[in-house]
Amino acid sequence: MTRTADTWILAAQCPSILGTVDVVTRFLKEQRCYITELSSFDDRLTEGFFIRAEFRPLEDDFSAEAFERDFGERAVEFDMSFELTPPNKRTKVVIMVSKADHCLNDLLYRYRTHQLPMEICAVVSNHPDLEPLAQWHGLPWYHLPVTPETREQQEQQILDIIERTDAELVILARYMQVLSAHMCDVLAGRAINIHHSLLPGFKGAKPYHQAYEKGVKLVGATAHYINNDLDEGPIIAQGVETVDHAHYPEDLVAKGRDIECLTLSRAIGYHLERRVFLYSGRTVVLGH
């Protein structure tokens, strides 16, 4: 769903308590805010409640500070945490890449055409190959080679860049290095990774060639938040397409790249639009 340029976002979560929808919608009505989109989910297994509302203030004197203060007083009763996001917010991001350019190229196109509400503060890579692509877009480029012996130092350099640019989100656009447990902990909930998803799973080099040898019938991709379990973080979005015997290894690779681009951009969009809630090691994605 396309968000209009004048809508705010209220995203909140709390325990499952009677009146959770009412406290949000009633407050918005009292504040003369017109709801343009509303999504909620009550998890009966964990007794957690999640709600996201896009709204447009009808009065010219709308104050975000007063809204947060007054709604905060109502939210206390429900032990509700919330976030208010203003219109046209462009989240600061750092993109990490290696040699493959398809995801970076796709993200830069969506960035250039304003399809994703983000501000790219830096592109970081452990290889020099994609520097011309970043420079063509006028983006700061950091080449930070890494070896097993220098990984700790290199990761600290990356964290310094993230802190210096005030980046709120890190995108691993085919960054082919395993992050340390410390790095994963620091970036928990604010770093998104993309990788291929094949059934069955094929580990190691040339997974699509392995898949071809087994006559794979599904090719897909998974976008998830990073954690200490390699490629097993909380999933935000997945994409899949059917293939058959007529798809040679190069066809599978090409299709896989396309799905990776689409799935990664979709996951980033969900995150930027405050549709994703992290809870009990998994995600709730509202209104997608």
Q: Do residue 210 and residue 139 come from a single domain?
A: yes
**pLDDT band at 130; cut points 50, 70, 90:** very high
Q: Do residue 81 and residue 108 come from a single domain?
A: no
Residue 75 lies in a domain: yes
Its domain, for residue 31, covers: 8-85
- pLDDT at site 1: 54
Q: Do residue 25 and residue 107 come from a single domain?
A: no
Q: What are 62-110's pLDDT values in tens digits?
A: 999 999 999 999 999 999 999 999 998 999 999 999 999 999 999 999 9
CA nearest neighbour of 240 among 220, 257, 265, 216: 220
Residues 190 and 208: their CA atoms lie apart, in Å, by 29
Q: Do residue 110 and residue 144 come from a single domain?
A: yes
Residues 3 and 117: their CA atoms lie apart, in Å, by 11
Residue 113 lies in a domain: yes
What percent of the chain lies above the pLDDT cut of 90? 87
- Distances in Å between the Cα of 2 and the Cα atoms of 6, 54, 92, 235, 284 are 12, 11, 21, 23, 20
Domain of 119, CATH number, reads: 3.40.50.170
Q: Do residue 81 and residue 206 come from a single domain?
A: no
Residue 221 lies in a domain: yes
DSSP codes joined into one string, the chain: -PPPTT-EEEEEEEE--TTHHHHHHHHHHHTTEEEEEEEEEEETTTTEEEEEEEEEESSTT--HHHHHHHHHHHHGGGT-EEEEE-TT--EEEEEEE-S--HHHHHHHHHHHTTSS-EEEEEEEESSSTTHHHHHHTT--EEE----TTTHHHHHHHHHHHHHHHT-SEEEESS--SPPPHHHHHHTTTSEEEEEEEESS---SS-HHHHHHHTT--EEEEEEEE--SSTT-SPEEEEEEEE--TT--HHHHHHHHHHHHHHHHHHHHHHHHTT-EEEETTEEEE---
Per-chain mean pLDDT for the chain: 94
Residue 160 lies in a domain: yes
Q: Do residue 70 and residue 105 come from a single domain?
A: no
Residues 104 and 102: their CA atoms lie apart, in Å, by 6
Q: Do residue 115 and residue 233 come from a single domain?
A: yes
Q: Do residue 255 and residue 115 come from a single domain?
A: yes
Residues 88 and 138: their CA atoms lie apart, in Å, by 22
Number of domains comprising the chain: 2
Domain end position, chosen among 85, 105, 132 = 85
Residue 278 lies in a domain: yes
Q: What are 230-285's pLDDT values in tens digits?
A: 778 999 999 999 999 999 999 999 999 999 999 999 999 999 999 999 998 899 99
Domain of 55, CATH number, reads: 3.30.70.260
Q: Is 231 a catalytic residue?
A: yes
Residue 249 lies in a domain: yes
Catalytic choice (43, 101, 231, 251):
231
Domain end position, chosen among 29, 64, 85 = 85
Sign of CA dihedral 83, 222, 160, 281: positive
Domain end position, chosen among 54, 85, 116 = 85
Residue 2 lies in a domain: no
- pLDDT at site 2: 62
Q: Do residue 76 and residue 154 come from a single domain?
A: no
**pLDDT band at 4; cut points 50, 70, 90:** confident
Task: Tell me which residue has tokens 């040699």.
Answer: 99
Q: Do residue 104 and residue 148 come from a single domain?
A: yes
Q: Do residue 75 and residue 190 come from a single domain?
A: no
Q: Do residue 120 and residue 194 come from a single domain?
A: yes
31: pLDDT strictly greater than 70 = yes
Residue 1 lies in a domain: no
Task: Write the CB contacts of 85 (distance below 8 Å, at least 6 apart in sequence).
Answer: 8, 9, 10, 11, 274
Task: Return the exposure string of 121-144: e unless at least 16 CB atoms fall within 10 Å of the residue's CB, then b.
Answer: bbbbbbeeebeebbeebebebbeb
Sign of CA dihedral 216, 221, 225, 231: positive
Q: What are 131-153's pLDDT values in tens digits?
A: 999 999 999 999 999 999 999 99
